[in-house]
Amino acid sequence: MKILGISNTKDSGACLIIDGKLVAAVNEERFNREKLTREFPENSIKWILKEFKLKKNNIDALAFGAWKGIETGFFPEYINEVLTKAKSNTTRKYIQSRFYGSSNSDKISLERLKQGLKKMGLDKIPFYFCSHHIAHAYTAFSFSQMNNALVITLDGRGDFQSGSVSVWKRGKEPIVLRLESELDSLGAFYGWITKFLGFTPDRHEGKVTGLAARGNPKICLHIFKKIFHTKNGRISAEIGDYFAPYMKAKLPKLEKILKKYSKEDIAAAAQKIVEDVVINYTKYYLKKTNQSNLAVSGGIFANVLLNMHLKELKGVKNFFVFPHMGDGGISVGAAAYVSELHGKIVKPIKDVYLGPNFSENECKKAILKSKMNYSKSKKFYKEIAEYLDNGKIVGLFQGKMEFGPRALGNRSVLARTTDKNITKILNKRLSRTEFMPFAPITLEKFARENYKNWNKNSLTSYYMTSCYHCSKELKKKSPGVVHIDNTARPQIITKKNNPVVSKILNEYYKISGTPSLVNTSFNLHEEPIVLTPEHALTLLKKEGIDVLAIPPYIVTKKKRMT
């Protein structure tokens, strides 16, 4: 059975599940080069159909992970929420804005989806809508290695909800324990803070997390404690002068108060309140369900510091964050739902290398066209390691593109970790403004001595979805990747999960005695990660990188003489 998952929420995209196996997934931004695009994923669908030599009538079902609207079962709960909260004019105004905002934008998006399907001639294929948070939950559990788990999803909003709690057993229908309304949205709160601190909401939340480590959470935590509470397994937000459930809300009273504090202290307190709420909430359900496996998804879990605390919670044995936890991953969750609806149990993922690949020939053609200097070296890995040891910034372009926000070695920029100032250097070269150091990749055999409490079951460490406390060893050898709070967000590399990166790291270790390198996404600031060899070569031209590694070729900027 072939299911095409399609999403046109923020970061639209498409995926293909064949008989329960996720075989392809990609986001439209990589094709149309508009970061987090909401456009109908026409290019993504075309690529999938071409890659798998499929005609439209070979697709058995279409799956969508949004625009289902308020479900009948949830409707009384939603109304109850509104009636309980709407006690003042201010509160009513904010609730109305949220409701009309959601309804209108969802209606427009649904219409755009219908038009896109019609245009591509896909509108005759049977289709299914999966409620947004259930789709997030499917990503968290179905693709994990777990056979049973507590699943929590939290985000800004989707289908009038901002969270869900459910219990899962492989092969069985999930039992939903709780749905949070969009009025109690932690994602909206964190997005609002992101905007207040001068960044772009829905995009730069990671900068707030990075900034948080530099502040004192105690200074203004009392303000945010007035907004969010958790009690008896529910998240509750006080809508009013201090909070409105959407990112662009005007909150003059709160703004006036916050202006007295530093950006760092505000970020630290915002991070702390989110951590406190989610941790309490999770603890409640871990106890209630007697579960030791925890799987999470939704935009809130892009927060790598929060994930570190969840991973370390007493009673959590296994912890999984779906690597594409935001709305960009929702096509996959919806397709998983439809697959299981038809009796095809979804298989866990082994990696997220699910996007387009380019042949050696295609890469060579692009290199020749660029007129850059290149060589085909038998000692490819050693040469790349030498460049890195000499302080060069290397772009690595190989294999199938990663699905999700993190570059995991196939569309990555690598650099040495030994430079204390590597964050500054890379920020300048790649026109970025990161507060958190760039993340390290480390050979698996050295993971235990570099990251505290790491073990082979640390699933988040293979996808860069959680921070780890660092050891003295990492701080000594790789100061450039350790944050001010002594954490790092590693990707652990094995011969199996990424043979090319593993070989580069091994060669680099032989030369330098350091088993780690910096790994950041292959893009300039605000641009989507590179898709094609041509995109990669452009970054070399713009001097974002010094060397481009496209196995078996090594390309440098100097123009060829012939």
Binding residues (CB under 5 A) for Fe ion: these are: 155, 158, 327
Q: List the Cα angle 12/14/20 in 5-degree steps.
A: 140
Q: What is the DSSP string of 375-392?
A: EE-TTHHHHHHHHHHTT-
Instruction: Between 11 and 81, name the residue whose CB sits nearer to Fe ion.
Output: 11
Shortest Cβ 155–Fe ion spacing (Å) = 4
Shortest Cβ 208–Fe ion spacing (Å) = 18
Shortest Cβ 139–Fe ion spacing (Å) = 10
Task: Catalogue the E-assigned strands of 276-393.
Answer: 293-297, 318-321, 372-376
Shortest Cβ 528–Fe ion spacing (Å) = 19
Cα dihedral 3→32→351→128 (10° resolution): -20
Tokens standing for residue 109: 């998006």
Residue pair 136/164 in contact by the 8 Å Cβ criterion? yes
Instruction: Between 184 and 327, name the residue whose CB sits nearer to Fe ion.
Output: 327
Residue pair 6/62 in contact by the 8 Å Cβ criterion? yes
Instruction: Between 29 and 155, name the residue whose CB sits nearer to Fe ion.
Output: 155
- 215 Cβ contact partners less than 8 Å away, ≥ 6 residues apart: 262, 263, 264, 265, 266, 267, 268, 269
Instruction: Between 155 and 340, name the residue whose CB sits nearer to Fe ion.
Output: 155
Q: Which residue has the tokens 């096509």?
A: 331
Rounded CA separation 78/179 (Å) = 10
Neighbouring-strand partners of residue 231: 234
Alpha carbons within 13 angstroms on the beta-carbon side of residue 316 total: 23
Shortest Cβ 154–Fe ion spacing (Å) = 9
By beta carbon distance, the residue nearest Fe ion is 155
Instruction: Between 404 and 480, name the residue whose CB sits nearer to Fe ion.
Output: 404
Tokens standing for residue 172: 């069985």
Shortest Cβ 65–Fe ion spacing (Å) = 8
Instruction: Between 134 and 220, name the residue whose CB sits nearer to Fe ion.
Output: 134
Per-residue b or e along 209-240, where b marks 16 or more CB atoms closer than 10 Å to that residue's CB: bbbbbbbebebbbebbeebbebeebbbbbebb
Rounded CA separation 149/166 (Å) = 8
Shortest Cβ 342–Fe ion spacing (Å) = 24
Q: How does DSSP classify residue 470?
A: B
Instruction: Between 210 and 299, name the residue whose CB sits nearer to Fe ion.
Output: 299
Maximum C-alpha span of the chain: 76
Q: List the Cα angle 272/278/279 in 5-degree steps.
A: 85
Per-residue b or e along 384-403, where b marks 16 or more CB atoms closer than 10 Å to that residue's CB: bbebbbeebbbbbbbbbbbb
Residue pair 257/223 in contact by the 8 Å Cβ criterion? yes
Rounded CA separation 401/357 (Å) = 6
Shortest Cβ 427–Fe ion spacing (Å) = 29
Shortest Cβ 156–Fe ion spacing (Å) = 7
Shortest Cβ 135–Fe ion spacing (Å) = 8
Instruction: Between 328 and 528, name the residue whose CB sits nearer to Fe ion.
Output: 328
Instruction: Between 187 and 355, name the residue whose CB sits nearer to Fe ion.
Output: 187
Instruction: Between 158 and 245, name the residue whose CB sits nearer to Fe ion.
Output: 158
Instruction: Between 186 and 211, name the residue whose CB sits nearer to Fe ion.
Output: 186
Instruction: Between 155 and 184, name the residue whose CB sits nearer to Fe ion.
Output: 155
Rounded CA separation 373/22 (Å) = 38
Rounded CA separation 67/534 (Å) = 36
Rounded CA separation 152/285 (Å) = 9
Alpha carbons within 13 angstroms on the beta-carbon side of residue 487 total: 20
Instruction: Between 159 and 340, name the residue whose CB sits nearer to Fe ion.
Output: 159
Q: Which residue has the tokens 């006080």?
A: 238
Q: Are strands 491-493 and 440-443 parallel, antiparallel or unpaired?
A: parallel
Shortest Cβ 330–Fe ion spacing (Å) = 6
Shortest Cβ 200–Fe ion spacing (Å) = 17
Shortest Cβ 397–Fe ion spacing (Å) = 30
